[in-house]
Structure 1
Amino acid sequence: MNAVVFDAIKTLLDEGKTPTVALTKSKLSQPMPMPVIIAAVSQYKNNPDSIKNFINNPSNEHVSAPKESQLDRIEAKLDRLLALLEKK
């Protein structure tokens, strides 16, 4: 389970609410792909103890740095190509 989604589910549980995809998405601290959210909520609904297991396993609590989006990479390449064209 992704740490960001886990935190959102944990927040909902702390508020006494039942996690749903929509509620979980509304509590996210950063954008996440919908399949990741759905998988996490499904995992929680199938096994509510999975949250406790996640808490007890500190290796899961690291949050990886957000990766550069594909659009950002394409824009950077375009900027380099335009700079090369301007030199000629």
Structure 2
Amino acid sequence: MNAVVFDAIKALLDEGKIPTVALTKSKLTQPMPMPVVIAAVSQYKNNPDSINNFISTPCHDSTSFANDSQLDRIEAKLDKLLTLLEKQ
């Protein structure tokens, strides 16, 4: 199963919510096919202890780095646009 989906399930559990397909899909950090989400939620409901085997901390690190890099690029573009607007 995909660790990103299990991370979303873990986030729901940390909030005290019961994981459902809709709630899990809303907590995903990246797009996932619906069958993957359904399979993960079903697996969790059949064996709640299975969630501990799939939680990945390195995934968050690489995702965080990618998001920071993307944020830096967006900020640079915004700065350029603001500079152009101020000149006019």
TM-score by structure 1 length?
0.61
RMSD (Å) for aligned C-alpha atoms: 1.7
5+ unaligned residues in a row in structure 2: which ranges?
A: 63-88
**Which structure has the higher relative contact order (CA within 8 Å, separation 6+)?**
2
Q: How many equivalent residue pairs?
A: 59
The aligned residue for residue 32 of structure 2 is: 32
Q: Given the superposition, is the C-alpha separation of residues 19 and 10 from structure 1 closer, same or farther in structure 2, using an over 3 Å criterion? A: same
The aligned residue for residue 16 of structure 2 is: 16
TM-score by structure 2 length?
0.61
The one-letter code of the counterpart of 2:54 is F
5+ unaligned residues in a row in structure 1: which ranges?
A: 56-60, 66-88
The aligned residue for residue 49 of structure 2 is: 49
Q: Which runs of 4+ in 1 moved over 3 A?
A: none
The one-letter code of the counterpart of 2:38 is I
